[in-house]
Amino acid sequence: MAKIEKILIVTLCALLLAFSAAGCDKAVKKDKDVKEFKKGPDGLVMSFVPNYPPDKFIVANTDEPISILVEVRNKGTYPPQGNNQEDSDARTNFGTGAIHLSGFDTSIIQIDPLSQSISGIDLPSASSVNPGGIDTAEFDGNIVANNILIDNYNPTILVTACYPYQTKATSSICIDPKPFDTREKKVCTIGSQNVPNQGAPIAVTRIDQEVAGGKIQFKISVKNVGKGEVIWSRDGSVLNRCDPNQGRLERRDFDRVQLEKFSIGNVDLFAEGKCAPFADGTDDVVKLFNGEGFVICTYDIPSGIQSAYTTVIDVELGYAYRSTISKPIQIRKIETVG
């Protein structure tokens, strides 16, 4: 074989190995992305579109147009994208959320009051094949120069998003009728475990187990891991009152999460009334203190079970969520001559 042919063969082999390694790296990265897409603590995330509005305005004696554009992205895993009636109802409920504009003197920055809120948010949730729905909320109006009585007016544009959301947390747990028997070979052991983020601003962070008298108590720790505030969505009015221009949220509206499901295998302990404590005389509301709370549910180990086994715990939490972004702007008024 000629020397040049050997060099070509070696070069081709090296290239094939490089391409193969790159392909493997991409496959590993893609697989990692699929596994990690739920790990964020966010629901709806907002940001101002650059230069909408600009940082500074200079006005004279005539009105100046102003446009405020807000990019809205759903980075969480709600609403579900299935085809059954429950998923359809969840998507409809999600559409009751709204984005509100406030923080300025409406006699100076005039935006139609009916246009200061945009409702009917319809953004698909994030998934392994979808990074999450994205849209833009646009608010247009005018700066009325004649109503500015000072040289510099420096308002802060506040954008508030209020929307219903849900957290679904699942994990494998151990059921052991004889947890203190250390002589028997077991497939699992009862204990505590941390739970990864579920792709929602309210998260189930930890599961603790205690066994006594043929029963297992499951303590589920809940935490506000997002950047906003959780609101008790006991009825639709809370979302209406979330508008800074219209309603007023009360102290008791905050830091309350509704337990909607707590099942071990095919047994829903919440539906059977085996969960506590709940706040304010309710039978489903978990109160958060400094952003954290818990609920304890009791599971009766089925009679006849003699050895340890693993099963699935399934927790669902419902709530409304409020988040805000803000941007200060400067409006400078100059006098014109002639």
Contacts of 322 (CB under 8 A, 6+ apart): 160, 161, 162, 228, 229, 230, 231, 242
List, for residues 89-132, the tens digit of each pLDDT value. 777 777 788 999 999 999 999 998 888 999 888 899 998 888 88
- Whether residue 175 is contained in a domain is answered as yes
> Could you give the CA distance from residue 228 to residue 102 in angstroms, rounded to a whole number?
17
Q: Tell me what pLDDT residue 212 has.
A: 85
pTM, whole model, 2 decimals?
0.83
Quick count: other Cβ atoms within 10 Å of Cβ 120?
9
Q: Under a CB-based contact definition with an 8 Å cutoff, are residues 44 and 163 in contact?
A: yes
Do residues 67 and 173 both lie within one domain?
A: no
Q: Is 18 helix (H, G, I), strand (E, B) or coil?
A: helix
Closest alpha carbon to 318 in 164, 197, 166, 204: 166
- Whether residue 29 is contained in a domain is answered as no
How many domains would you assign to the chain?
2
> Could you give the CA distance from residue 154 to residue 104 in angstroms, rounded to a whole number?
9
Helix (H) or strand (E) holding 6: helix 3-36
Q: Tell me what pLDDT residue 33 has.
A: 45
Q: Tell me what pLDDT residue 77 has.
A: 93
Per-residue pLDDT of the chain (338 residues; tens, 9 = 90+): 444 444 444 444 454 455 454 454 544 444 444 455 556 899 999 999 999 999 999 999 889 999 999 999 999 999 987 767 777 777 777 778 899 999 999 999 999 888 899 988 889 999 888 888 999 999 999 999 999 999 999 999 999 999 999 999 999 999 998 888 888 899 999 999 999 889 999 999 999 999 988 899 999 999 999 999 999 877 667 888 888 888 788 888 899 999 999 999 999 999 999 999 999 888 999 999 999 999 999 999 988 888 999 999 999 999 999 999 999 999 999 876 55
Do residues 119 and 105 both lie within one domain?
A: yes
**What's the CA angle centered on 43, arms 30 and 293, to 5 degrees?**
115
C-alpha 214 chain-centroid distance: 37
> Could you give the CA distance from residue 68 to residue 207 in angstroms, rounded to a whole number?
44
Domain that holds residue 49: 44-164+324-333
Do residues 119 and 202 both lie within one domain?
A: no
Do residues 88 and 202 both lie within one domain?
A: no
Q: Which two tokens stand for residue 1?
A: 């074989």
Residue for token pair 């193969």: 20
**What's the CA angle centered on 60, arms 57 and 62, to 5 degrees?**
100
Q: Under a CB-based contact definition with an 8 Å cutoff, are residues 286 and 295 in contact?
A: yes
Do residues 176 and 138 both lie within one domain?
A: no
Do residues 122 and 198 both lie within one domain?
A: no
Q: Under a CB-based contact definition with an 8 Å cutoff, are residues 176 and 186 in contact?
A: yes
Do residues 73 and 155 both lie within one domain?
A: yes
Helix (H) or strand (E) holding 87: helix 85-94
Q: Is the peptide bond before 53 cis (omega within 30 degrees of 0)?
A: yes
- Whether residue 4 is contained in a domain is answered as no
- Whether residue 134 is contained in a domain is answered as yes
Q: Which two tokens stand for residue 155?
A: 């308002």
Q: Tell me what pLDDT residue 19 has.
A: 46
